[in-house]
Each structure stands twice: as C-alpha cells, then as structure tokens.
C-alpha cells in the first residue's frame, strides 16, 4: 500500500457546540489551501507556528470566523505530510462552512481514520501504535488511558521488534546452514533448541498479559443472578452507590436485564441485574428469565446471590448446578440479619460442599462490599490485578498473532530436537516472523490495514 498523494480534510473535533472546533487538512496542498482561506499570512509560512487571523471565503470575501491557524511542515507532523489546522469557534454550522471551503479549494473529505492511516504509511507510527490512538480516544477508565498511552509510545512495539529481530537472527543462522552446509558442517541442534525455547518463553510472557489488556481495554460483564427476592437489585444499587433498580419485597419485581457501568480497580465493568431465576406462568417474567439465561452465557463473571435469612434451598442448589463454576462467585446477602456464628456456618457449609470461595455481604448496610469488589477484580484478572510492568498485549489481533508465532516456534523446536533437516525449521521460523510482523505492520496485508482504520472516527 503506497502513501496517498491527494490532500484530505475533516472536522477533527466531536459534533456539537463547544469552545473551539478544529478543521484539519493534510497533504501537499495544505499550505496552499490555508493561504487562500486564512488572512493574514506572511509570505513564508513557518512550521510549528500559530497564526492569528480570519477565515475568509475567497469567492465572496465574506469573513467566516476569527480563528487560529496551526502549521506543521512535513515530515514533522502527525501524518508525516504538510498539515494545517483551522482552530475556530466550536459551532456545527461554522465548522461545516470552513470544511466546505477547504473542499472547494482542492481537498477531499477524509475517510474514517485516514489521518492516522497516513501516519502509518509515512512511517510516523507502526500498526500497534496506530491502534493505540483509537484506544486512547475510547478509553473509559484511567487504567485504559494509561495502557493506551504506553502502547502509543511504543512499549508493545519495542518488545515485538526485539522478539522479531531475534527470530530473524536465528532464521539467518538456519538458512546459512542450508546454503553453506559444506563449509559450516552439521547444524548445532542443541544451541538452536535452547534459543528457540527462550523465544517461546518470551512469547508466553507477553501472552500472559492478554487477559489484563483485553479487560482493561474492552471491559467485563458481571451478572448478578439468583432466586427472586434474594437482594439482587439491592446489591446492584449498593455497588453503584445510587438507587438504579426498583427494590420491593415482592418476588419477581425485576422483569428485564438492567445494565449499568461501574469501574472496579481500573476495569470498566457492566453490571447486570437480572430477573430472578424460577419457573413462572407470568409471560412477561418468563421473557425476563430467558434474558437472564442469555446474560449468564455472555458473562465474564457471575455473582450467584443467596439469602442468608432463608439459607441454601433446594432451588438454589438446582440453579447453582447449572452455572459454570469457573465463572461463578457465591455470595451470601442479608448477613446483617444473622449472628457472626450463623454466617460462618453458612459459609463453611457451602465451601465444604462445593469447594468454592464464598463471600458475605449486606447490600443494605454496605458490609464487606469492598471485599467483594476486590474478589471480582481478582477473579477477572488473577491474584495480581495491578497493571503489569512492561509490554502488555491489548487486542485480540495481537493475541492471535503471538499465539500463531509461538506455535510455529514450538514446531521449529520439536524439529530441532528430532534432528530434522534445516528446511523444516526454516519454514516454521519464517511463519513465526511473519506472524509477529502482523502486530506492528511489517507483514500486514492491505485488507488488515483497511479493516483496522475503518473502525476509526472521521478526523482522526
């Protein structure tokens, strides 16, 4: 894919009213367009300057807005091309007029993500860094923002480049044996196997961060489930700190899935309060129960709520046995109504019966809710739910590429351990090099690149 030669323009700020709005122009005609539309400008427009003046319609001489013009000459710009930005007052009609003037003077409307695509094509960013731009814009928590900026600054890219360079070095060694076996003698399979194992371990270490990266970037779904009237809606309200769900003593009050967002230790979490699980003749409630089952299938984690007042019933037992144990936390609610000894006995009974961790809370008083939040984070991310040091895999595309590379390295290592001809090992090494190259873009196809950037917003 070759860098584009035409000039593009788009509104780079969100739609709606605001203090300022920006129209961005990138390409060979950017400075020429600016000179036609922005007055005054000196004979020689310098790079990285802010000029104060007026946006003027060159056909009518009408003053459109008092504005600032920001200038960036290639290659020291976001796209690597000549770029100008009209910083105007943030009105929708005004910005559209300025955009229309840039198009009338020779620019075309930018496609979604085309500014960042040009930055990638012009070598300003690699593919992983470019993806981080979208992550930075969409970040819903501070943890997601920090992770995106680390990737944008090249932390993952540097780790991938180092691994790929070492792969290429080993591949060069194997190919040297292929081409000059008479001079080099027999290949040192032990040396090769040892270095392949080191590369496999480095890929595994990076892959171990993928769950943290995915959950921090995309978020998790936590479903509160259980029989009617065990306090599911009360727990949702308590975790949110506001009265979001209707709470009554009448079983079956919740008829639909209520979705609310919360941040738990840096993870954006969608909490779902669901209809109580039970057999019912009520048509509306039955629809709610069916939606509950769909939510349970999609959940990253299920909080199975039990009433400490009623104890563990046969209905609880029947429902619990249908839930995936690896994604389910058992939670006793209404524990403020029992003595400590009684609560301890309830926990001991379930822990012994199901070999599971059991938590105790009171949605009414907030007792031990913080412990439950810690447990949710630990269940989602593992025992160490703080942001890992070093590079972190953030996207499914990266994870699949790394997994493919590691499998190719494992094939190469088995071949070296079995003393197979160098051709087999070289083929697997080439596949591994190509796989990790997909992450930073060295081996990415045009279809992959277009798919990535089409998901960006216009103006970025």
215-381: CATH homologous superfamily? P-loop containing nucleotide triphosphate hydrolases (3.40.50.300)
Residues of the chain with CATH 1.20.120.430: 133-209+392-440
- The residue among 196, 140, 145 whose CA lies nearest residue 173 is 196
pLDDT in tens, 116-136: 999 999 999 999 999 999 999
- The arithmetic mean of pLDDT across residues 299-314, rounded, is 91
DSSP code string of 262-284: EEETTEEEEEEE----S----HH
What is the per-residue pLDDT for 410? Answer: 96
pLDDT in tens, 152-186: 999 999 999 999 999 999 999 888 887 776 566 67
Confidence label for 286 from pLDDT (cuts 50, 70 and 90)? low
Q: Which residues sit opposite 305 in a β-bridge?
A: 226, 331
Measured from the Cβ of residue 2, the count of other Cβ atoms closer than 10 Å reads 5
Q: Is the pLDDT of residue 259 over 90?
A: no
- The arithmetic mean of pLDDT across residues 433-459, rounded, is 88
- The residue among 430, 431, 439 whose CA lies nearest residue 401 is 439
141 contact partners, CB below 8 Å, separation of at least 6: 216, 263, 266, 267, 268
What is the per-residue pLDDT for 228? Answer: 85
Q: Is the pLDDT of residue 100 over 60?
A: yes
Q: Is the pLDDT of residue 85 over 60?
A: yes
Kindly report the length of the chain: 460
What is the per-residue pLDDT for 287? Answer: 53
Q: Which residues sit opposite 303 in a β-bridge?
A: 224, 329
pLDDT in tens, 376-418: 988 888 765 567 788 999 989 999 999 999 999 999 999 999 9
Contact 177, 422 (CB under 8 A): yes
The second-level CATH assignment, the architecture, of 8-126 is: 2-Layer Sandwich (3.30)
Q: Is the pLDDT of residue 94 over 70?
A: yes
- The arithmetic mean of pLDDT across residues 349-372, rounded, is 89
Q: Is the pLDDT of residue 457 over 50?
A: yes
- The residue among 305, 312, 252 whose CA lies nearest residue 276 is 252
Q: Is the pLDDT of residue 256 over 60?
A: no
- The arithmetic mean of pLDDT across residues 26-51, rounded, is 96
What is the per-residue pLDDT for 383? Answer: 61
Structure tokens at 252: 């079956």
Structure tokens at 36: 């036609």
276 or 224, higher pLDDT: 224
CA dist 82 and 134 (Å) reads 22
- The residue among 63, 62, 59 whose CA lies nearest residue 89 is 63
What is the per-residue pLDDT for 124? Answer: 95
365 contact partners, CB below 8 Å, separation of at least 6: 336
- The arithmetic mean of pLDDT across residues 73-95, rounded, is 96
Confidence label for 253 from pLDDT (cuts 50, 70 and 90)? very low
Sequence-separated contacts (24+) of 448-451 with Cβ below 8 Å:
449/1, 449/117, 449/120, 449/127
Contact 305, 224 (CB under 8 A): yes
Residues of the chain with CATH 3.30.1360.120: 8-126
**What is the CATH topology of the domain spanning 133-209+392-440?**
1.20.120
Rounded mean pLDDT of the chain? 88
2 or 75, higher pLDDT: 75
Q: Is the pLDDT of residue 248 over 90?
A: no
- The residue among 381, 382, 226 whose CA lies nearest residue 303 is 226
Confidence label for 357 from pLDDT (cuts 50, 70 and 90)? confident
26, burial (CB in 10 Å: exposed 0-12, middle 13-18, buried 19+): buried
What is the per-residue pLDDT for 25? Answer: 98
What is the per-residue pLDDT for 1? Answer: 54
What is the per-residue pLDDT for 244? Answer: 58
Residues of the chain with CATH 3.40.50.300: 215-381
DSSP code string of 47-104: SSEEEEEEEE-TTT--EEEEEEEEEE-TTSSSSSS-EEEEEEEE-HHHHHHHHHHHHH
């Amino acid at each position: 894919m070759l860098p584009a030669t035409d000039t593009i323009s788009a509104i780079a700020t969100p739609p709606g009213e605001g203090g300022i709005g920006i129209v961005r122009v990138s390409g060979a005609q950017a400075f020429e367009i600016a000179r036609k539309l922005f007055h005054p400008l000196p004979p020689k427009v310098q790079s990285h300057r802010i000029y104060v003046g007026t946006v003027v319609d060159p056909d009518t001489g009408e003053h459109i807005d008092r504005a600032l013009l920001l200038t960036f000459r290639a290659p020291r710009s976001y796209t690597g091309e000549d770029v100008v930005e009209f910083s105007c007052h943030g009105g929708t009609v005004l910005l559209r007029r300025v955009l229309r003037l840039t198009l009338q003077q020779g620019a075309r409307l930018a496609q979604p993500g085309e500014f960042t695509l040009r930055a990638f094509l012009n070598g300003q960013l690699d593919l992983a860094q470019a993806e981080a731009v979208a992550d930075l814009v969409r970040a819903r928590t501070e943890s997601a923002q920090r992770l995106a900026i680390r990737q944008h600054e090249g932390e993952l890219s540097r780790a991938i480049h180092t691994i790929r360079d070492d792969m290429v070095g080993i591949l060069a060694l194997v190919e040297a044996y292929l081409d000059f076996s008479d001079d080099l003698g027999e290949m040192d399979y032990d040396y090769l196997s040892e270095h392949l194992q080191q590369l496999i371990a480095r890929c595994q270490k990076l892959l171990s961060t993928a769950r943290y990266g995915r959950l921090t970037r995309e978020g998790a779904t936590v479903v509160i489930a259980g029989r009617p009237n065990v306090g599911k809606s009360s727990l949702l309200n308590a975790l949110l700190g506001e009265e979001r769900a209707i709470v009554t003593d009448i079983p079956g009050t919740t008829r639909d899935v209520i979705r609310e967002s919360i941040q738990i230790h840096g993870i954006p979490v969608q909490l779902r309060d669901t209809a109580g699980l039970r057999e019912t003749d009520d048509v509306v409630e039955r629809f709610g129960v069916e939606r509950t089952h769909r939510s349970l299938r999609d959940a990253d984690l299920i909080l199975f709520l039990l009433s400490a007042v009623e104890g563990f019933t046969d209905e609880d037992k029947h429902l619990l046995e249908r839930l995936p144990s690896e994604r389910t936390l058992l939670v006793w609610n209404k524990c403020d109504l029992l003595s400590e000894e009684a609560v301890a006995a309830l926990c001991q009974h379930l822990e012994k019966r199901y070999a599971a961790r059991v938590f105790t809370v009171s949605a009414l008083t907030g007792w031990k809710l913080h412990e439950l939040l810690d447990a949710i984070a630990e269940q989602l991310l593992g025992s160490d739910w703080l942001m890992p040091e070093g590079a972190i895999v953030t996207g499914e595309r990266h994870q699949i590429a790394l997994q493919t590379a590691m499998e190719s390295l494992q094939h190469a290592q088995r071949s070296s351990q079995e003393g197979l001809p160098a051709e087999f090992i070289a083929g697997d090494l080439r596949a591994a090099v190509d796989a990790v190259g997909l992450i930073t873009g060295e081996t990415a196809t045009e279809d992959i690149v277009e798919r990535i950037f089409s998901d960006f917003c216009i103006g970025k």
